[in-house]
Amino acid sequence: MQPHIFSISFFTAHFKRHETKKFRSSYFLPPPTVIWGIIGAIFGVEREELEKFAKENNLIAGAELCSLGLATEKATLMPWDNGNKMFIRTVEDFEFLIEPHYKIGVYAKEGFIEELKKRIEKKDFEFDIYGGISDCFLKDIKNENKAEFMEKTEAKGMIPADMVDGFSQITEGSKIIREHVLLSRF
């Protein structure tokens, strides 16, 4: 197993929060499953094969937010009302991130990491990389070439709640921002 960090930015991004229905809210960080999708796009892995791909390569991934802007726009939705045989126009808010920049941490099999580094360096991707949805285009991606694995009691970014021991044992002055996040477990 080997760690690697790469930097990635988008012109805009939207990582849909699954618990919102009417308002299209976005996570600030790409969830681990989105990162697997980005890496899968680099290697040409179809969406249906992504879980198998992650398991085969012992893929663990996370993101750190470096910078972003936030905007909300109005969007007109036109869902089809089959009973009345017509479209119903509704207006909803759509939240998106402006020029988000992230550092992506990956921990996987050594041969896999070496191939990932080569592909990022050469920008040799099988599929296009998007910032959550297909309207959000890649701005830049590059290897950071400085990664080491270490066990710590502090974390940045998004981690599964079951990895955090003893919420009641947190020392004074520490801060945890807890959001409802759906994570896939393998």
Which CATH number belongs to the domain containing residue 60 in this structure?
Answer: 3.30.70.2660
Per-residue pLDDT at 83 exceeds 70: yes
Structural domains in the chain (count): 1
Is the torsion defined by CA of 15, 96, 98, 160 positive or negative? negative
Q: Is residue 177 part of a domain?
A: no
176 pLDDT higher than 90: no
User: Residue 79: its pLDDT value, please?
Assistant: 76
From CA 168, how far away is CA 108, in angstroms rounded?
32
Domain range enclosing 13: 2-150+158-169
| 181 domain residue, yes or no | no
